[in-house]
Amino acid sequence: MPIKSIALGIAGATFVLAAPASAQDEGEEQRNPPSSGPERPQGPPSAPQGGPPPGVTAGDIVFDDTWLTIGIGAGLVPSYSGSNDYVFFPLPLVVGRVGGVGISPNGPGFNLDLLSDPPANGPQGTSVSFGPSLRFRNDRANQIEDDVVRDAGELDVALEVGVNGGVTFQGVLSRFDRLTVSSSVRWDIAGAHDGMLIEPGLSYFTPIGRGTALQIAASAQFVDDDFSDYYYSVSAAQSAASGLPQFEADGGLNSLGLTAIATFDLDGNSLNGGWNVYGIAGYSRLVGDAADTPYTAIRGSADQFIGGIGLGYTF
């Protein structure tokens, strides 16, 4: 379901940006202290002129060319896209940078960034990300709490593959915040919905001190006719089995969402890795035929919510 993907994807993006940003930002303050005299030219971020932040040795900074955060959590989510029944859903997390490739979760799946820069020495101003995207979609394949919707029949699990890319602008509202414009396009290759979807997004990240970060993201989902027909149409056979009226769904704008993610380092210093806690809260509104289908309009709700908490470890 769309909001699961939103929450998991942003959780990974928050971990990618939060602690590396702190490492870079505090290092930048140490290298370029305020001065009342004439401004002196500085070297590029990839050639630091000073050491790490005060009280932190170089060996204490875990974010270098290779690092990983792994975690597990649980969230309360709709039982299917359009449901007003909620179930617990695992929120696993694997995010980091290995062999020059950035890794972030994408629902039950992942995105890879083939243009990833070392977090502590990344480019200033603007950076670009691009790479393959993979996601499993198990909507109405299990955990259907509504008996009527269950009688309409379970669906197959889709395997969506495609690409994800974005542009990040640094220092938008404050010195250390970041605004990212991104988009994904994926196609089902498992023979489930056999369709295509496009997911543009806009996210804003800001560190709050050395051990806390906040990210807020807005997103949309556009789907084609095959996707919409598979998940939202009610065929004659499904109508006979469930008692729901027949319905034919077309593609278009499918949902709009807003999600907030907060991360907290348990020892107050995100630079040295270790244990951290992340919390998720989100709202998504189904629109178009996703809202008009009997699965939503009669048996569920177009308003979709999510909440969750997880524990991660960075090394």
Mean pLDDT value across residues 292-314: 97
Q: Which two tokens stand for residue 287?
A: 């629109």
Spatial CA neighbour of 24 closest among 180, 129, 170: 170
pLDDT at 118: 61
Q: What is the pLDDT of residues 250-272, one digit of tens each?
A: 999 999 999 999 999 999 888 78
Residue 299, Cβ density class (10 Å: 0-12 exposed, 13-18 middle, ≥19 buried): buried
Show Cβ contacts of residue 222 under 8 Å, excluding neighbours closer than 6 positions. 197, 198, 199, 200, 251, 252, 253, 254
- This prediction has a pTM of 0.82
Sequence-distant (6+) residues with CB within 8 A of 94 are 12, 68, 69, 70, 103, 105, 110
In whole angstroms, give the CA distance from residue 250 to residue 229: 6
Kindly report which listed range (29-43, 73-87, 133-147, 165-179) carries the lowest average pLDDT score.
29-43
Q: Is the pLDDT of residue 167 over 80?
A: yes
Q: How confident is the model at residue 200 (pLDDT cuts 50, 70, 90)?
A: very high
% of the chain exceeding 70 in pLDDT: 79
Average pLDDT of every residue of the chain: 83
Given a cut of 60, whether residue 18 has pLDDT beyond it is no
Task: Identify the H or E element spanning 151.
Answer: helix 147-151
Residue, of 45 and 153, whose pLDDT is higher: 153
Q: Which of 213, 196, 195 is nearest to 204 (CA)?
A: 213
pLDDT over 80 (residue 214): yes
202, 181 in Cβ contact below 8 A? yes
120 has pLDDT over 90? no
How much is the pLDDT for 195? Answer: 98
Please report where in the chains the tokens 């499993």 appear, as a residue.
136
Nearest to 140 by CA among 8, 231, 243, 238: 231
Residues 49 and 39: their CA atoms lie apart, in Å, by 16
| Domains of the chain listed by start with CATH number | 2-30+51-314 (2.40.230)
Question: CB of 170 within 8 A of CB of 145?
Answer: no
Overall average pLDDT of the 211-238 stretch: 97
Confidence band for 184, pLDDT divided at 50, 70 and 90? very high
Place of tokens 């089902």: 188
Of residues 175 and 183, the one with the higher pLDDT is: 183
Is residue 30 within 8 A of residue 52, CB to CB? The reply is yes
pLDDT at res. 175: 83
pLDDT in the model for residue 105: 84
Nearest to 297 by CA among 221, 245, 252, 240: 245
> Would you give the distance in Å from CA 176 to the centre of its chain?
20
